[in-house]
Amino acid sequence: MDKKKVRNYMTYDVITIDVKGTAKDVIEAIRLTKHDGFPVVDGKKVVGYISARDLLFVYPSTPIERIMSRHLIVADPEMSINDAARVIFRSGIQKLPVVDDDGNLIGIISNADVIRSQIEHVSPEKVFKFIETLKMLHDVDPKLEREIIPVNNLLPTQSKIYEDELEGRIYEIKKGLAEPIIVVRRPGKLILVDGHHRAVAAKRLGLKELDAYVIDIEEDVELGLEKTARQMKLRTLDDVQVLDYARHPLVALTHRLVRHN
């Protein structure tokens, strides 16, 4: 995760409000974009932030300078995505302007961007916990390898993925940021345990191989994952349904929690 930076996930095309504007300009920007807040700039330099709640009980002609927040928390493009996550969730701020060394605006990073970077995150602990689960459930002695595996041979065990998350994984693969998938290898089978968005993204990009944690099981035992795949009639990655424009449930849930808090 250390190589994942704010610059890899931030939005570069940012709607801003000029510091010399009025509350009416913010109202119009909200109406046109459906966004609830904007960086305030003087030229290219970020000087404040204005949100919908700042417009309560003010006249449309009220100058931006009088109602904007000057207490700025900003991010650096080279900041790790984990550090940005800590700032966003500890401060309760939904969006951080991203600035260069001179304070000029170059992008914005949101809580949704941070969550997207974390979904399907693979850690060694996650792999070893799964191995321990296999040992308990099936009395097997798995071996772990790090290998390059053929994408087209993967047996999926998840029937649906999400278009917005898929786009994020495509971006990561193109940038060389994608993490390994997790696969169980049994005689004649490569069972995809974790990383369905990455696997489908690789297939869309025409990639033949992917980096993977491969858990080898020599014993002749059918896993519960295989039974699930059979029940859902999953045979190849082509059988995985991509839900167009459906937001990932975790992202949607976080938006609701932020709004309620």
Q: In the chain, what are the domains? A: 6-117 (3.10.580.10), 120-248 (3.90.1530.10)
Pairing of strands 143-150, 209-216: antiparallel
Residue 119's pLDDT is 62
Low-confidence ranges of the chain (pLDDT < 50): 1, 246-261
Predicted local distance difference test score (pLDDT) of residue 136: 86
Q: What pLDDT score does 249 carry?
A: 47
**What pLDDT is recorded for position 117?**
73
pLDDT reported for residue 254: 40
Q: Do the beta carbons of residue 165 and residue 250 sit within 8 Å?
A: no
Which residues are bridge partners to 155 per DSSP? 191
pLDDT number for residue 261:
42
pTM: 0.60
Report the candidate in 236, 238, 256 with the shortest Cα–Cα distance to residue 248: 256
Cα–Cα distance measured from residue 229 to residue 133, given in angstroms and rounded to the nearest whole number: 19
Q: What's the pLDDT at 118?
A: 66
pLDDT value at residue 256: 39
> Cβ distance 234 to 159 under 8 Å?
yes
d(CA 56, CA 52): 8
Cβ 182 vs Cβ 194: under 8 Å: yes
The Cβ of residue 77 has, within 10 Å, a number of other Cβ atoms equal to: 16
Query: What is the rounded distance in angstroms from the CA atom of residue 224 to the CA atom of residue 150?
Result: 23
What is the model's pLDDT at position 247? 45
